[in-house]
Chains A and B, each alone.
Chain A
Amino acid sequence: MILNDLIQIKEKELAARKKIVLRCCLAAGCVSSNSKGVKEQLDKAVAEAGLQNEVEVRGVGCMKLCCEGPLVAVDPKNELYVKVTTENASSIIAALQGGKAKVEQADPDSAFFTKQLSIVLANSGVVDPERIESYIAADGYLALHEVLNEMTPKEAVETMVKSGLRGRGGAGFPTGLKWGTVAKSAGAKKYVICNADEGDPGAFMDRSVLESDPHSVLEGMAIAAYAVGADQGFLYVRAEYPLAIARLQLAIKQAKQISLLGAGIFESPFNFNVEIRIGAGAFVCGEETALMMSVEGKRGTPRPRPPFPAESGLFGSPTLLNNVETFANVAAIYRKGAEWFAGIGTEKSKGTKVFALAGKIKNTGLIEVPMGTPLRTIVEEMGGGAPDGGKIKAVQTGGPSGGCIPSQHLDTPVDYESLGKLGSIMGSGGMIVMDETTKMVDVARFFMEFCMDESCGKCIPCRAGTVQMHNILDKILKRQATARDLAKLEELCDMVRNTSLCGLGQTAPNPTLSTLRFFRNEYEELLQPDTFGAGATQTQTATK
């Protein structure tokens, strides 16, 4: 494989394009409402109408407006059909020859779509995730070629530093700095790991990226491997994502077949192999040290850092760990330049962020917006506000590690620092909208229960502390708690946050702390008078 071969594949693919393309979503959300059946019907209807030479029905990844699936888009007519069924699918084909399809349509020019800026999701819903040619036609693997041929590993790291990309897993560590540290770490063997153990309740960004555009992640990993000097990669995917795993396996196979993975990529001395490791269902394996233990075949429990994975990671070797969305940004950065990327977003948070918009909101689905976009734009304009005229009360970001941002702070721009200041975090991109019917103590208890169940059990504060915190929250909800219990809860929040071994425990109190900060009255309304305390006050008064 040399550059010419790549260009030939692209040209052949483009030449074979037909006049009309029907893009049918085959990502997990739409598949669950039978988009596969819809695609079969479309194929059948095209054949029956004798339009095979003019119409292509392409299975694609996520087209973002998940709540309205199955989705079918028609190019170049710029139509988006929603809630397509096997019964009404053929009317879309009939409408190609004139007339109107008997299928509901969404407005592709509504704010939900126009306010988006796609970098990570640029190919999502456009390319066929099961055909590498489709990805190559969208300039896939060009960035890898350029990096291998025109950059030294050091220059590749510098480009990443210049781009200002920060880790999309949640903490926002500068990606270039991480790459540089791994590159400088001494070691004959180095590894690159992609963290695809997305586990926050309500988050499905990484799943969509893997199902819609697996090659962009592979290309990003290969570029990263070249930059840091690694030749082996692992994709750690949770077992709950079977479709993502199947598409990744296929993508790896296809890339190997034409030597875009494996030995001597683009006839350079660079070798890179990728293997998939499937998680067994533990949330804590999304924590980097626990993830590496799991890849090594051991019980997935975290270990204290330092040493950081960049020095001593998988099998004791320097290891680069980034999340799916981070890797999905990489190829675009090298193809379009670090300056281009650094020009998007805010001063400290560059580029875009993908969010999985869910909860009490009209338009649920995937959105990708430039960093710095106000929450209000996302929730009210793009999301369309609460359904049935409800009022939005809070927005939860960062899942069980994040917090609830109350409606009075909706003008907060989405970036790492602003969300941090409000006691929440950017997180991996789950965004759950809550309306006035949501009880905040309930929310806190839900997330605490999640952390309690998902604590690995290694360190005491997280293992036993989450149990006690959950019990107190439960007691408050049952109206059995007193102010004394609330004080105990707050004390435990502080202790568990400061003494837990890994991020799971350190952030487990966040949903409780943030709801206490903004909705303390909801807690206090549920408290019972403290009989012991009341008695003590009386005695004091009496002695006066």
Chain B
Amino acid sequence: MAAKTLTIDGKQITAEEGETILQAATEAGIKIPTLCHLEGVYDIGACRLCLVEVKGTPKLLPACTLKVAEGMEVATDTERLRKYRRMTLELLFAERNHVCAVCVANGHCELQTLAYSQGMDHVRYEYTFPKWNVDNTHRLFGMDHNRCILCTRCVRVCWHIEGAGTKNVSGRGGKSKIITDLNQPWGASESCTECGKCVMACPTGALFQKGSTVGESERDRDKLEYIVNAREKKQWNA
């Protein structure tokens, strides 16, 4: 593999041929925001957060799929890019029903983290408040479409790591939806291996382990009484 020298944000770096700008930047300690990118699966350049400016090219290009080239001059953090990134995040927040306070992923959510790091402190677009359902039919996992950002990480891990091919996308545009099998309830899926990779991959709270949601976190107060009662009656003594 031949080495390539290039400049990212004014910093001269070397990278291996075939590497992406995102890989090269990460190695050089330059952080480019990403959302649909996930280490271990192939990139699709869909979320547009990692867009960078390349000297000599009028178009903005996604760092996750753009290969390094000799002498390339890349800018990852210009005023224009920061503005577009904030707008992209605003569009996402206005698109479905993202309510951090009651979300399983609150505090561990990549969308939330990105909004903080990119300085998106409010949404200027009108919320569309679409009606999406929650698929709770699976024994172990749930899918809340209100929180889905259609990054398709779940689809990619399902097909290319687990090889089950359960998850897919149906519909188009804003009506796109992650489905299981041929749009059946997840619990009825015959292809799902219950491996849970999709849940691990999800950047938001759209896919979750059952029992982890706010709604499910009920206190079991009867247990206290049961223990005290049992102790008094010495029911545990042999």
Contact = CB atoms under 8 A, between A and B. Distances in A.
B48 A461 contact: yes
A197 to B, nearest CB: 15
A455 B174 CA distance: 8
A468 B176 contact: no
B130 to A, nearest CB: 10
Given A452-B173, A454-B172, A468-B126, A495 B84 contact: yes
Interface of B: 44-48, 51, 59-62, 65-67, 83-84, 87-88, 91-92, 94-95, 124-126, 128, 149-150, 152, 168-169, 171-176
A458 B125 contact: no
A56 B44 CA distance: 58
Contact of A453 (B59, B87, B173): B173
A452 B46 contact: no
A9 interface: no
Nearest to B51: A499
A498 B173 contact: no
Which among B44, B47, B51, B173 has the highest number of chain A CB atoms within 10 Å? B173
Contact of A499 (B66, B88, B95, B171): B88
Contacts of B173: 452-457, 463, 466-467
A304 B67 CA distance: 12
Give the top 3 A-B pairs by smallest Cβ distance, nearest first: A457-B176, A464-B91, A304-B45
Given A459-B46, A459-B47, A492 B87 contact: yes
B151 to A, nearest CB: 9
A464 B67 CA distance: 28
B124 to A, nearest CB: 6
B174 A304 contact: no
B87 A491 contact: yes
Nearest to A466: B173
Nearest to B81: A499
Contacts of B87: 491-492, 495
A303 interface: yes
B169 A457 contact: yes
B48 A500 contact: yes
Interface in A494-523: 495, 498-501
B84 A499 contact: yes
Given A457-B174, A457-B176, A488-B124, A464 B95 contact: yes
B175 A460 contact: no
A299 interface: yes
Contacts of B59: 498
Given A452-B173, A455-B174, 16 more contacts: A282-B172, A299-B169, A304-B45, A304-B61, A304-B62, A457-B173, A457-B174, A457-B176, A458-B44, A460-B149, A464-B91, A464-B92, A464-B95, A465-B91, A467-B173, A495-B83
A292 to B, nearest CB: 15
Contact of A456 (B65, B88, B126, B172): B172
Interface string A430-469: 0000000000000000000000111111111101111110
Interface of A: 282, 284, 299, 303-304, 306, 452-461, 463-468, 471, 488, 491-492, 495, 498-501
24 contacts: A284-B172, A303-B44, A303-B45, A304-B62, A306-B67, A453-B172, A453-B173, A454-B172, A455-B174, A458-B46, A461-B88, A463-B95, A463-B174, A464-B95, A465-B91, A467-B174, A468-B91, A468-B125, A471-B126, A491-B87, A495-B84, A499-B84, A501-B45, A501-B48
Contacts of A282: 172
A460 B47 CA distance: 6
A466 B95 CA distance: 11
A459 B48 contact: yes
Given A304-B61, A465-B91, A492-B87, A455 B172 contact: yes
Contacts of A467: 95, 128, 173-174
Contacts of B84: 495, 498-499
Contacts of A455: 172-174
A458 B67 CA distance: 21
Contacts of B92: 460, 464
Nearest to B67: A306
A452 B125 contact: no
Nearest to B125: A468
A211 to B, nearest CB: 28
Contact of B46 (A453, A468, A501): A501
B49 to A, nearest CB: 8
Which among B92, B152, B172 has the highest number of chain A CB atoms within 10 Å? B172
Contacts of B175: 457
A461 B44 contact: no
A457 B46 CA distance: 9
Contacts of B61: 304
A488 B123 CA distance: 12
